[in-house]
Amino acid sequence: MQNKLSIVLAGEAGQGIQSVENLLVLIFKKDGYNIFATKEYMSRIRGGVNSTTIIISDKPIIAWHEDIDLFLPFSYEAINRFKDKINYSTRIIVDKKYINYENSIDIPFNKTAEEIGSTIFSNTIIAGFLASLFNVNIEILKKTIFDVFAKKGKEIVDKNIIAAVRGYDLAKNYFEIFKINIQKDKKVAEQFLLNGADAISLGAVAGGCNACFAYPMTPSTSVFTNMALYSKKYDIAIEQVEDEIGVINMALGCWYAGGRALVTTSGGGFALMTEGLSLSGMTETPVVIHLAQRPGPATGLPTRTEQGDLNLALYAGHGVFPRIIYAPGNLQQAFYLSALAFNMADKYQIPVFIMSDQYFIDTYYNTEELPLNSVKSENYFVKTDINYKRYKITEDGISLRGIPGYGDGLIAVDSDEHDEDGRITEDLNGISLQMKNKRLKKFIKIKEATLEPVLYGQREYKILLIGWGSTHNIILSALENIKNNDLAFLFFSQVYPLHEKTKDYLRNAVKVIVIENNATGQFADLITKETGFETKYRILKYNGLQFTVEELVKKITEMI
Amino acid sequence: MENMFERQCEIAWCPGCGNFGLRKIVLSALKELNLDQRNTVFVSGIGQAAKAPQYMNVHYFNGLHGRALPAATGIKIANPDLTVIVESGDGDMYGEGGNHFLHTIRRNPDITVIVHNNMVYGLTKGQASPTSQKNMVTPIQVEGVFETPLNPLSLAIALDASFVARGSVGEPELTKELIKNAILHKGFALVDVFQACVSFNKINTHKWFKENTYKIDETYNPEDKIKAFELALKEYPFPLGLFYINKNKVVFEENLPLYKKSKEPLYKRKNDNIKDLLILKK
CA atoms of B30 and B119, how far apart (whole Å): 26
Q: Is A98's pLDDT higher than 90?
A: no
Q: Is A548's pLDDT higher than 80?
A: yes
One domain for residues A8 and A133:
yes
> Quick one: closest CA in B to A285, which residue?
B61
Task: Identify which of A402, A497, A377, A407 has the alpha carbon closest to the alpha carbon of residue A447.
Answer: A497
pLDDT in tens, A384-407: 999 999 999 999 999 999 999 999
A466: domain CATH number is 3.40.50.920
The CA–CA distances, whole Å, from B134 to A268, B129, B194 equal 36, 11, 17
> Quick one: closest CA in B to A415, which residue?
B63
Q: Is A554's pLDDT higher than 90?
A: yes
Name residues 323-382 of chain A within 8 A of B (Cβ): 370, 372, 377, 379, 381
At A140, the pLDDT band (50, 70, 90 cuts) reads very high
A158: domain CATH number is 3.40.920.10
The CA–CA distances, whole Å, from A497 to A24, A322, A333, A410, A525 equal 41, 9, 17, 33, 14
- Asked whether the beta carbons of residue A259 and residue B277 sit closer than 8 angstroms, the reply is no
Question: Among the three residues A373, A407, A432, which one is the final residue of a domain in this structure?
Answer: A373
Within A88-190, residue ranges assigned H as helices are: 109-116, 122-133, 138-149, 154-171, 175-178
Provide the whole-model pTM.
Answer: 0.97
Mean pLDDT of A171-197: 94
> Quick one: closest CA in A to B99, which residue?
A242
One domain for residues A202 and A166:
no
pLDDT in tens, A249-306: 999 999 999 999 999 999 999 999 999 999 999 999 999 999 999 999 999 999 999 9
B91 DSSP 8-state letter: I
One domain for residues A144 and A264:
no
Mean pLDDT of A368-373: 85
One domain for residues A74 and A221:
no
Name residues 190-249 of chain B within 8 A of A (Cβ): none
- Asked whether the beta carbons of residue B79 and residue A404 sit closer than 8 angstroms, the reply is yes
- Residue-number span of the structural domain to which A274 is assigned: 193-373
One domain for residues A466 and A368:
no
Question: Among the three residues A373, A408, A433, which one is the final residue of a domain in this structure?
Answer: A373
CA atoms of B156 and B231, how far apart (whole Å): 13
One domain for residues A172 and A198:
no
Q: How far is CA B279 from the centre of its chain?
A: 46
Rg, chain B, Cα only: 20
DSSP SS3 for B163? strand
Question: Among the three residues A161, A190, A219, which one is the final residue of a domain in this structure?
Answer: A190
Residue ranges of domains in chain B, CATH in brackets: 18-281 (3.40.50.970)
E-assigned strands of A434-518? 454-457, 463-468, 487-492, 494-496, 511-516
Task: Identify which of B24, B1, B14, B51 has the alpha carbon closest to the alpha carbon of residue B172.
Answer: B24
Q: Is B82 on the interface with A (CB under 8 A)?
A: yes
Question: For residue A413, which residues of chain B lie inside 8 Å, CB to CB?
Answer: 60-62
- Asked whether the beta carbons of residue B99 and residue A208 sit closer than 8 angstroms, the reply is no
Q: Give residue B273's pLDDT.
A: 66
Within A349-448, residue ranges assigned H as helices are: 358-362, 431-448
**Tens place of pLDDT for every residue, chain B, 282 residues?**
689 999 999 999 999 999 999 999 999 999 999 999 999 999 999 999 999 999 999 999 999 999 999 999 999 999 999 999 999 999 999 999 999 999 999 999 999 999 999 999 998 999 999 999 999 999 999 999 999 999 999 999 999 999 999 999 999 999 999 999 999 999 999 999 999 999 999 999 999 999 999 999 999 999 999 999 999 999 999 999 999 999 999 999 999 999 998 999 999 998 766 767 776 676
pLDDT in tens, A16-75: 898 899 999 999 999 999 999 999 998 888 889 999 999 999 999 999 999 999 999 999
Q: Give residue A102's pLDDT.
A: 86
Question: For residue A276, which residues of chain B lie inside 8 Å, CB to CB?
Answer: 64, 67
* Amino acid letter for position A302: P
Task: Identify which of A520, A512, A526 has the alpha carbon closest to the alpha carbon of residue A465.
Answer: A512
> Quick one: closest CA in B to A245, which residue?
B67
* Contact predicate A345/A530, CB 8 Å: no
Mean pLDDT of A79-94: 93
One domain for residues A552 and A422:
no
One domain for residues A204 and A308:
yes
Nearest to B277 among A193, A202, A241 (CB): A202
CA atoms of A445 and B278, how far apart (whole Å): 33
Q: Give residue B280's pLDDT.
A: 66
One domain for residues A440 and A531:
no
**How crowded is residue A460: how many other Cβ atoms within 10 Å of its Cβ?**
8
Q: Is A225 on the interface with B (CB under 8 A)?
A: no
One domain for residues A402 and A419:
yes
One domain for residues A267 and A358:
yes
A231: domain CATH number is 3.40.50.970
Q: How many domains does chain A have?
A: 4
One domain for residues A177 and A218:
no
Cis peptide before A328 (omega within 30 of 0): no
Q: Give residue A270's pLDDT.
A: 98
- Asked whether the beta carbons of residue B281 and residue A202 sit closer than 8 angstroms, the reply is yes
CA atoms of A450 and A494, how far apart (whole Å): 7
Task: Identify which of A275, A194, A255 has the alpha carbon closest to the alpha carbon of residue A229.
Answer: A194
Nearest to B67 among A208, A237, A249 (CB): A249
Q: Give residue B278's pLDDT.
A: 72
Q: Is B85 on the interface with A (CB under 8 A)?
A: no
